[in-house]
Amino acid sequence: MTTPFASRPGFVAGDRGVAAHYGNPLGEQRLLERGRAVVDLGLGIVTVTGPDRLSWLNSITSQLLSGLRPGASTETLVLDASGRVEHAARVVDDGETTWLLTEADDAAPLAAWLDSMRFMLRVEVTDRSADFVTLGRFAGAVGPADAVVEWLDPWSEVATGGWGYAALEAHPASDWTLRIAVVAPGTAAAIAASDVAAAGLLAYEALRIAAWRPSLSDVDERTIPHELDWLRSAVHLSKGCYRGQETVAKVHNLGHPPRRAVLLHLDGSDAVLPAPGTPVLLDEQEVGRLSASAVHHELGPIGLAVVKRSLDPAATLTLHTDDVVVTAAQQVIVPPGAGATANVPRLPRLGAVRRS
């Protein structure tokens, strides 16, 4: 589907076909953060209908979904038998249909996997990505009155049954108020034609990284939820069994995740931003990989990376891109000793670092 915002002045298409920006990524970022703009997220949409939908989804994913109230929002993961992340979905139920919002390229694989797991249960799975538009906004922005459904991101606090690894008194997610409205194309077109300010994905991605908010785009073939602090919002630690649950419990209760997420403060002196997938090095030895990067309007160039658990949190790292060596300082998200038995002192939140 072509985004209705393509007619906006300055529109530059991104990877999902929606706007990367409209000519001023930092200005759009400020407007979006202050609740004065909307962003077309271009997400995939999978719906599940039928009387068994919630109990069925509860039995095969990481979150407690049985009894989910109409309008309530949560998040869940599909794990493999070894506890590695395969799919991630933002979940909201309207009383008749469960809506699963995922990344655009994961909608068809997620729908296919769910369909393969139906067996004799009374559920129907449909990929509705082509039928709707997903518009994101933050507190202060007025949402569409005729949204089909709206998802409120639970990332701002540790969900019931979850666990937060980040050792901070004030988590940067405390200011994260993302809402995603699922709207008909006509509604999206009317908003695009109005005077409502629009932001691109570059603006949204910078805010997501600054809030340490994990996404399926941060996942590789080895990722378990603990490494991204995803137990915070997408895993219920005391629900019944599901595929991968044994690994989730064992790593959390008896061990430590083998890798850990960090926020990287990147040196922007050469005006080069390393791309996702760039190796993260210590003394020219790879110790991790960059999963996301952006220029934040206050923090400057930043990125999310997953590194070895044993890596010294104080070590200065390097990334090579375009024949330029970019240095990076770590800010710990998941501590090296993360787990239920960890005794990690709570640290104050680091203030924003303004860069000239």
> Could you tell me which residues are annotated as the binding site for substrate?
169
Phi, psi torsion values for 195, nearest 5 degrees: -95, 10
Q: Which helix (H) or strand (E) holds 250?
A: helix 245-254
d(CA 156, CA 172): 8
Q: Note whether 306 and 278 are within 8 A (CB).
A: no
Rounded to the nearest 10 degrees, the angle between the axes of helix 201-210 and helix 25-33 is: 60
Strand partners, 301: 295
Sequence-ordered strand ranges (E) for 36-174:
38-40, 44-49, 73-79, 85-93, 97-102, 124-127, 133-137, 149-152
Other beta carbons less than 10 A from residue 354's beta carbon: 9
36 phi/psi in degrees, rounded to 5: -120, 15
What whole-number distance in Å separates Cα of residue 70 and Cα of residue 94? 5
**Tokens describing residue 90:** 């933002």
Q: Is 294 exposed, middle or buried (0-12, 13-18, 19+ CB in 10 A)?
A: buried
Instruction: State the binding site.
Output: 169
Question: Which two three-digit tokens encode residue 197?
Answer: 């300010």
For residue 99, give the nearest of 62, 152, 173, 155 by alpha carbon: 152
Cβ atoms of 270 and 241 closer than 8 Å: no
Which H or E run contains 25? helix 25-33
**DSSP 8-class letter at 341:** T
Among 33, 66, 78, which Cα is nearest to 243's?
A: 78
